[in-house]
Amino acid sequence: MSKQENTQGRCPASLLPAPAVSRRSLLLAAAAASAGAALPAPARARGNAEQITVAQSSDVLTLDPSKDTSPISLNAFKNIYDQLTNIAADGSVTPQLATAWEPNADNTVWTFTIRADARFHDGRPVTAEDVAWSFNKIIGDSRSPVRTFVGAIQKAEAAGPNQVRFTLKSPFAPFHRQVSLISVIPKAAYEAMGEARFSQAPVGSGPYKVVRWIKDDRLELEANAAYWGGAPRIKRIIFRPVPAEPARAAGLLSGELDVVALLPPPMIRRLQNVRGVRVQTVASNRVLYLGFDVNRAPFNNVKLRQAIDCAIDRNAITTRLLQGLGKPEGQVVAPVTFGYDPEIKPTAFDPAKARQLLREGGYAGERVLFQFPSNRYAMGSEIAQAVAGFLREVGINVELEGMEYSAFFPLWTGRRLNAMHMFAFGPSIMDAELAMISLYEAGSRAYWQLPEIDRLVKQQRAEANPERRKAIISQIFRRSQQEAVYAVLHHEIQAYGIAEGLRWSPRPDERLVFHEADFPPGR
């Protein structure tokens, strides 16, 4: 377990809006974050077609894609493994291992045709049996967090040498998107190596092969020259865990790093005029929110949750602290995601109403624990501190507890964040279905589970008409906002630092995929 950090009492005063001057304090927070010594000039030649180095805020948890759903690990999986389908940067569904797919009339049976030219890194062909086994392995593993994504499947089976048939428990209209979450594993290699060895040195069929993984130091990948989609132009990718934002920016400036995701606003300004670095922004599908364990006191009190929702000045956070790298939201999906309803507005900032709700709910100053990952989001700690300051201003007794993302994520997947927490959701399938599965459906990671909401979740899943499906999803989001199940903050506008000349663009879903990346000739 990574070291946890209790930030109560140790945060700079300028980062915690005081009861009488919260607006001014937030401005000071932004100014304080902008201050600091100038970063060093570039010190070495940057990456080229032979190698690039990519920074993430933490290390992967495992290299076994049947055991992890964390976004950090998913970035590795998307380079090492193939999935049946792919979600393109524009949100469309494109073929990957599957060249075609066909549902039956009511979307309860789906048949996928597997390409004949795909091979695993050990030279063996990818077969329909490997595909079916990969899904059934997860279905049968009660400990796997990936199991959430295959809960609709009754049976996966090879229906011939190049076809896989999925029989579902109920109609599932966006199932062709859902299968993009499951990486295909070679049955023979996994069984021969065993779970422990495979999780360290796996065999996939993707554009890159694992050279070595040194925990908490680096993951080295090399190009798969025999990849069915064509050999990658960049021969080697190194993923480095770099938790500290200043260290990531310094690495970019020195030339030690070639891609750095999630730059905070102060570093963007410093990097924009640096020779050898380009800064590129993208409207993300990721939405930050506050979640509550609504089954335990004090958060089983809807008035307290509504008071928290009203007490937060989202505009101040996004415009002053994030300096435009965010937009307030009232639902847990962003505009780039299917199911987003532009008519659902962010909860209005109303501290007077928040105090009234606290009185009506009988809140008596009980301690409120507020947990958050300290190294996952751009200025994540500062956002948490600002939120805590707004809550203190209306009289809520908040205690902050920051921890490393590697410690936080298992608590989230295991529903063990039993107070208030800050997290973010960005559905990699670019569809609100993933939010339904993870944050609303009965048996999911949600703390708020109601039979009528569960019925709506299943109804939208079965609905093939896109507009009718959107209307059902909107009902769920509106009810969620009314009961303050989540106090949604904002969707991110993400900034990336990229080595000059590297032809690669960030995606809304935050995936770091490098199969088609390259440098101009001569680099």
DSSP string covering 437-505: HHHTSTTSS-S---HHHHHHHHHHHH--SHHHHHHHHHHHHHHHHHTTSEEEEEEEEEEEEEETT-B--
Check whether 40 has a pLDDT greater than 90: no
Say which residue, 17 or 362, is predicted with more confidence. 362
Residues in the chain: 523
Question: Is there a contact between 473 and 339 (Cβ–Cβ < 8 Å)?
Answer: yes
Q: Is residue 20 scored above 50 in pLDDT?
A: no
Sheet holding 98-103, edge to edge: 98-103, 109-114, 163-168, 153-158
pLDDT at 431 over 50: yes
pLDDT tens-digit profile of 114-171? Answer: 999 999 999 999 999 999 999 999 999 999 999 999 999 999 999 988 999 999 999 9
Q: What confidence category does residue 47 fall into, taking pLDDT thresholds of 50, 70 and 90?
A: low
Q: What is the pLDDT of residues 179-207, one digit of tens each?
A: 999 999 999 999 999 999 999 999 999 99
Grade residue 46 by pLDDT with cuts at 50, 70 and 90: low
What confidence tier does 36 reach under pLDDT thresholds 50, 70, 90? Answer: very low
pLDDT at position 378, please? 81
Q: Across-strand partners of 155?
A: 167
What is the model's pLDDT at position 470?
98
Task: Return the pLDDT at 443.
Answer: 85
pLDDT digits (tens, 9 = 90+) for 375-394: 888 899 999 999 999 999 99
The SS3 of residue 306 is helix
Which spans in 194-320 are helix H? 195-198, 245-254, 265-271, 302-311, 314-316
Residue 44 has pLDDT above 60, yes or no: no
Q: Are 78 and 206 in contact (CB under 8 A)?
A: yes
Question: Strand pairing of 397-403 and 326-328?
Answer: unpaired
Cβ proximity of 89 and 510 under 8 Å: no
Residue type, position 466, single letter? P
Which pLDDT value is given to residue 264?
A: 86
Q: Where are the alpha helices (DSSP H) in 264-350?
A: 265-271, 302-311, 314-316
Sequence-distant (6+) residues with CB within 8 A of 335 are 283, 342, 491
Tokens 């009660």 — which residue? 142
Per the CB < 8 A criterion, the answer to whether 491 and 335 are in contact is yes
At 517 the three-state DSSP class reads: coil
Is the separation of the CB atoms in 294 and 447 below 8 Å?
yes
| Per-residue pLDDT at 48 exceeds 80 | no
Contact indicator for 45, 258 with CB cutoff of 8 Å? no
Residue 34's pLDDT is what?
42
Percent of the chain topping pLDDT 70: 90
Query: What's the pLDDT at 172?
Result: 97
Joined together, the tokens standing for residue 203 give: 């065999």
Identify the pLDDT of residue 45: 52
Task: List the one residue out of 373, 264, 374 whose CA is nearest residue 321.
Answer: 264
- When computed from its CA atoms, the radius of gyration of the chain, rounded to whole angstroms, is 23
| Tokens at 49, concatenated | 């077609």
- Contact present, 368 and 338 (Cβ < 8 Å): no
pLDDT digits (tens, 9 = 90+) for 306-324: 999 999 999 999 999 999 9
Q: Please report the pLDDT score of residue 270 as a whole number.
A: 84
The per-residue pLDDT for 522 is 64
One DSSP character per residue, 364-415 reads ---EEEEEEETTSSTTHHHHHHHHHHHHHHTT-EEEEEEE-HHHHHHHHHTT
